[in-house]
Amino acid sequence: MATEHTAPMQPPRTETGWIGWARFNLFGSVPSTIVTVVSAPLALWACWAGLSWVFTTADWTLVTSRPQQYVIGIYPTEHAWRPLVGWLMVSVLFGLAAGMWKGAALRIAIGYGAIALVVGLLPYGALHEGVNMPLDIRLLVLGNLPVLAVAYWLGTTEAVGRPRWLIVGGLVTYVLFLSLLVGLPGVTAVLPGVTAMEPVSPRVWGGLMLNLILSVSGIVLSFPIGVALALGRRSNLPVVKLMCVVFIEVFRGVPLITLLFVSQVLVPLALPENFPVNSVTRAAIVITLFSAAYMAENIRGGLQGLPPGQAEAARALGLPGWRVTVWILLPQAVRNVIPAIVGQFIGLFKDTSLVYIIGMLDILEIGRAVVQGNVEFADNGRELYLFVAVIFWLITYTMSYASRSLERHLGVGQR
Amino acid sequence: MTSLTYQGIPVWRHARILGWTAQIVSAIIVIAAVAFFIYNLASAVEERDIPRGWSFLSREYSTPISESLLPYEESDTFAYAFLVAATNTLTLSLVGVAFATVLGIVIGSAQLAGNWILSRAAKVYVEFFRNVPLIVQLFFWYIVLLGLPQVREGYVWFDAIYMNNSGLSLPWLKAQDTVLAWGIYAAVAVAAALAVQQVAIRRELRTGRPSYPLVWASVTAVLIGAVAWVSLGAPLVIDLPRPVGRFGHLQGGIGLSIELAALLVGLIIYTSAFIAEIVRAGLQSVSRGQGEASRSLGLNAMETLRYVTFPQALRVIIPPLISQYLNLTKNSSLAIAIGYADLTSVAKTMTQTAPAISIFLIIMAIYLLFSLGYSLIGNLYNRHIQFRGG
Amino acid sequence: MENQSSDATATDGGQSNGAEDIIICRDVHKWFGSFHALRGVTTSVARGEVVVVIGPSGSGKSTFIRTINRLEKHQRGDIIVDGFEMTDDIRNIDAIRREVGMVFQQFNLFPHLSVMRNITLAPTKVRRLPMSEAEDIAMELLERVGIPEQANKYPGELSGGQQQRVAIARALAMQPKIMLFDEPTSALDPEMIKEVLEVMQELAASQMTIVAVTHELGFAREVADRIVMFDEGSIVEDQPPHDFFNNPRHERVRRFLSQILRH
């Protein structure tokens, strides 16, 4: 009997390379072959038709002639530097995250930088007469790139590249960004002639900036509220439990649009007279609470999925009740339902486009205002909706991409 | 040091006293907050003389509703207008749910197909339509449909389906006078078929020989149906839409306005993308070993899917599917954006002539009723699978 | 609740070897709804004693040891642990939980924390030890249970036997006076049972008070000072191993032994 081992041989040509791939994926069986024969020409035709429409038939003037409006809405032009400085601060966060985690965070930051580059370099003037981006604005936009690079470098350092600094930076950015947008009331009274920071009403916030502000506020606030509701619903205090159940079920059972109407009509009545809350804040609150109700159910699902032994082991170690929840149960529950939570964040971001109901000009509505207000764009609705759809898609896709990579990252060491 | 004690234990260390205190304090806080809002609301209503009450329900609504399934006239009451609008929403959601489910199952299965083009196309469909706000999609479909040719130059297929910029007209079934008698026949047929099936099953169990219970049951039902047809004639006739008059307006069949068509297309496509993901995840959740075990028992691919994979996947699919149905129902409130008269949009119009507080309470109650209905179905299903040791 | 006895050293129940009793149970009753799970259990455990609890499933043996650190609340009778009476006084409950370590059948390690963090969590948060000190203790304990090299892994990366040894180290990190084991080897593969039993044996030799629910009769025979058998919520037998195996007083014990020895 031969004792030598059989040397490994190359697989047949038909099993590897593109031939093998096609054999397996396109002509694997008779039905598959039929599908390929029918669908391949169809798919090619659809791609060709789509691309030729995008590049020849479609008229993108309504997008390229108004870059500022899609980004910051009708925020006064002389104050446009304020949101742009805010944008620079956001770039710091992206850079830090990229330096700290590399991988998916780095790829997201590169895409983010590429968008800043395109927005800052597009030759608007050459495309449309009378439309141009002032040099200072361009510089502010392009400034995101060096900021991103420096923050990336900082993120790779031991001292700065820690999640806790990212969280602190995020909160600081959030507060500063909003203060920049709101302005300093009374500054002109104290310092006559200084108009740089005079207040700007939230009514004129708009464009993609508005969608992002609403969704970031919603995400930041709906998570803790959702956690509180989930814990309340599981608590053994009957009154708390009942209120949480009623709150969650009402907010989940009624359309967001209806709630937005209620927020404009009923909420002002339910608050004391002269309570300082404007319609934008009210909308943000309603969107946040709506999202929090769903968040609560997601987190409750995560908590229910945990084996009871986890809480018992923690109690047996002598941890007091609330610490068992905060240190042992919540981290696991949240990690187990990350896809659902990010899905909820994506839903919240998409829902911000509903603020048109209360007359806010978000990226969708400002585009519609352009189409309806200008005869020359009356037939360009398709281009507008496609453009808005792609913007939304890019952001939501990035979110789910980040979520998948986070899940993989946390999956390490999981049982 | 003197201290308050209960059962010899200082009260601030007594587990049960602490529990009660937490209950009472939380109850007071919650009740105080609710009372605060209600008090504000009540005093605002009082002071600013805001319209309130429920008497408007029996008043004439006197406002047109553009499109409705139930017959509606402007002289009808507010209460009836609510019913009309709620019926619109319910019909819209049921039709949407039916089509979105079918489309979602097809696309979800296609995502797992062996054919690369098919699975890629399904994936692109899901990733795109799921991640773009529904409202953007609705506006898009609305202007696409508005771009259709006018009535006389519109598309016509088989002289039965008309599509143009005033809507879509489809053949529909029209009930004849004999429809009641047919109902009786149908009841008899079902009862007879069930009886025959039972007899056949018993016989099969007794003799051990196949007795084809389903076949015999069907034959019974068809026979009774044939008798009915001969004696009564057809219960329903197909009613084709046809152009009339100088402008070629369409009469007969069933007509959908452009708004309704755009809303349905948008809702169905958007929801089907979510359902496709649910179906894909459900099918993938059934472990490979189940399929292998089934194949090794000699079941073929189709039988494996029918008896092993799909029933197990269904347990994972149904609960999120029902919450998608609920989402579709709620999303139908976006009808207001393109001007279809659904519940929210009618209610919004009503607030101009009637107390807003009452109206919002009513529509929130109606939506909660819908959601309760869907949850009920979900719970029934859950209990059903639990009985079988789910 | 009645029975407000503060006489923590009373030893009127159960058998003991004469030393000071660290756990005293007098007429303990527990109901789950209408199911009477513990029906007047009276026993005591002396300091440094090793008591093995056996019995058929549903006999109340797990419920019994879970009442000792209040994972289950008993409804009647007295439980006194190291002088602390188990009442509704949260100070006593906290004190008892600090004195009593517990190891579970399903390990119940915290999967989102590293092995090191699993062990240091309670000492740093409950006993308020500084992190460096807690980590030193944790390393010592990991060496004691024989897996110091696993300190920075996550529970999911360990075998069942290693996880259970981490769980023992985690309980020991609180420097308990009593260790409770609730079927610690039942979820383990045969080759891993030995490594866990060895750790328990070493623990018993170090004068730790141990109450263990287990089906490992070999362990019981070698290590236990007493074997207690539960049936239908009551103690039916309570003897040193030799007498327990050789001349049990109850027919029920003989039947039970023959059942679990048969396989």
**pLDDT recorded at residue A129:** 66
What are the CA-CA distances from residue B231 to residues A360, B186, B217, B219, B234 (Å)? 64, 14, 22, 18, 9
Q: What is the pLDDT of residue B246?
A: 67
Q: What is the mean pLDDT of residues B216-220?
A: 87
Cα–Cα distances (Å) from B271 to A241, A251, A305, B118, in that order, read 32, 20, 27, 20
% of chain A with per-residue pLDDT over 70? 94
Sheet arrangement for strand C35-46: C35-46, C21-32, C76-81, C84-85
pLDDT tens column, A43-96: 899 999 999 988 888 888 888 887 788 888 888 888 888 899 999 999 999 999
Taking a C-beta distance cutoff of 8 angstroms, is the pair A75, A205 a contact?
Answer: yes
Q: Collect all residues of chain B within an 8 Å Cβ-Cβ radius of residue C90.
A: 13-15, 18
Among B116, B223, C78, which residue's Cα sits nearest to residue A20? B116
**Triad C234, C237, C243: Cα angle to 5°:** 170
Which tokens sit at A200?
Answer: 């700007």
What pLDDT shows up at residue C170? 93
Asked if A351 lies within 8 A of B38 by C-beta distance, the reply is no
What is the predicted pLDDT for the residue at C15?
Answer: 42
Which residues of chain A lie closer than 8 angstroms to B41, CB-CB? 266, 269-270
Query: Residues B262, B72: contact at Cβ < 8 Å?
Result: no
Q: Which of B319, B167, B171, B313 is nearest to B252 (CA)?
A: B171
Q: Give yes or no for residue B295 having a pLDDT over 90.
A: no
Beta carbons within 8 Å of A83's beta carbon, 6+ residues apart? A71, A72, A75, A177, A180, A181, A209
Q: Residues in chain A, how many?
A: 415
Say what the pLDDT of residue C10 is: 40
Helical axes A256-265 vs B356-387, angle rounded to 10°: 150
One-letter amino acid for residue A234 of the chain = R
- pTM score of the predicted model: 0.83
Among candidate residues B96, B103, B125, B25, the one with its CA nearest the CA of residue B261: B96
Q: Which of C191, C239, C238, C199 lies closest to C219, judged by CA? A: C199
Handedness of CA B55, B61, B66, B70 (dihedral sign): positive
Q: List, in order, residues 6 or more apart from A390 with CB less than 8 Å away.
A: none
Taking an 8 Å cut-off on Cβ atoms, the answer to whether B115 and A350 are in contact is no
- For B156, the enclosing helix (H) or strand (E) is strand B155-157
What is the rounded average pLDDT of the residues A216-239?
A: 90
Q: Please answer yes or no on whether A258 and B363 come within 8 Å at the CB atom.
A: yes
Q: Phi and psi at residue C185, in whole multiples of 5°?
A: -110, 5
In angstroms, the CA A197 to CA B380 distance is 60
pLDDT at A110 over 90: yes
Min Cα distance B273 → chain A (Å) is: 14
Residues of B in contact with A389 (CB under 8 A): 128, 132, 136-137, 140
B-proximal residues of C, 80-119, CB under 8 Å: 87-91, 93
Q: Which residue of C112, C120, C211 is the best one to mutate when testing the A interface, meaning the one whose CB has the most A CBs within 10 A? A: C112
- Residue A146, pLDDT score: 93
Average pLDDT over residues B6-28: 82
pLDDT of C6 reads 41
Q: Give the pLDDT band (50/70/90) at residue B51.
A: confident
Name the closest residue on chain B to residue A264, using Cα atoms: B356
CB contact under 8 Å between B7 and C88, yes or no, is yes
Nearest-neighbour CA in chain A from B70: distance (Å): 23
From CA C239, how far away is CA B225, in angstroms rounded? 81
**B179 has a pLDDT exceeding 90:** no
Residue A330 structure tokens: 């919540």
Q: Is B175 on the interface with A (CB under 8 A)?
A: no
Cα–Cα distance between B260 and B252 in angstroms, integer? 18
Which of B:1-40 have CB within 8 Å of C?
7-10, 13-18
> Six-digit token pair at C134?
């807690």
Element (H, E) at C207: none
Greater pLDDT, B294 or B123: B123
Closest CA in chain A for residue C170: A317
| Chain B: residue whose CA lies nearest to A42 | B117
What pLDDT is recorded for position A12? 67
- The 10 Å CB-count burial string (b at 16+, else e) for B10-40 is eeebbbebeeeeebeebbeebeeeeeeeeeb
Tokens for B40, please give them: 């504000």
Token reading at C109 = 């390690």
Closest by CA position to B268, among listed B225, B215, B351, B331: B331
> Under a CB-based contact definition with an 8 Å cutoff, are residues A73 and A362 in contact?
yes
Optimal mutation site among C94, C108, C150, C162, interface A, most CBs of chain A within 10 A: C108
Interface of C with B in 68-87 (CB under 8 A): 87
Q: Which residue of C has its CA nearest to A308?
A: C108
Q: Does A271 contact B135 at a Cβ distance shorter than 8 Å?
A: no
In this prediction, the residues of chain C whose per-residue pLDDT falls under 50 are 1-18
Cα dist from A59 to A55, A73, A369, A382, whole Å? 9, 21, 17, 10
Burial class (CB in 10 A: 0-12, 13-18, 19+), A187: middle
Chain B closest CA to A125's CA: distance in Å? Answer: 29
Q: For residues B295 and C166, which has the higher predicted lDDT (pLDDT)? A: C166
Interface of B with A in 268-327 (CB under 8 A): 326
**Is the Cβ pair B368, A250 closer than 8 Å?**
yes
Q: How far apart are the first and last CA of chain A?
A: 46
Q: What are phi and psi of B233, to 5 degrees?
A: 85, 180
pLDDT at B247: 65
Please tell me which of the candidates B44, B351, B367 has its beta carbon nearest to residue A255: B367
Mean pLDDT of A84-113: 91
Mean pLDDT of chain A: 85
Contact A312 C108 (CB under 8 A): yes
CB contact under 8 Å between C94 and A318, yes or no, is yes
**Mean pLDDT value across residues A190-194:** 71
pLDDT digits (tens, 9 = 90+) for A325-354: 888 999 889 888 888 899 999 999 999 999
Rounded Cα–Cα distance for residues A35 and A26 (Å) = 8
Find how far residue A116's CA is from the centre of its chain. Answer: 17
Closest by Cβ to B27, choosing from A239, A254, A385 = A239
- What's the pLDDT band for B288 if we cut at 50, 70, 90? confident
Is the confidence at residue A242, as pLDDT, over 80?
yes
Angle at A65 between CA A62 and CA A66, to 5 degrees: 90
What's the rounded mean pLDDT across residues A366-375?
86
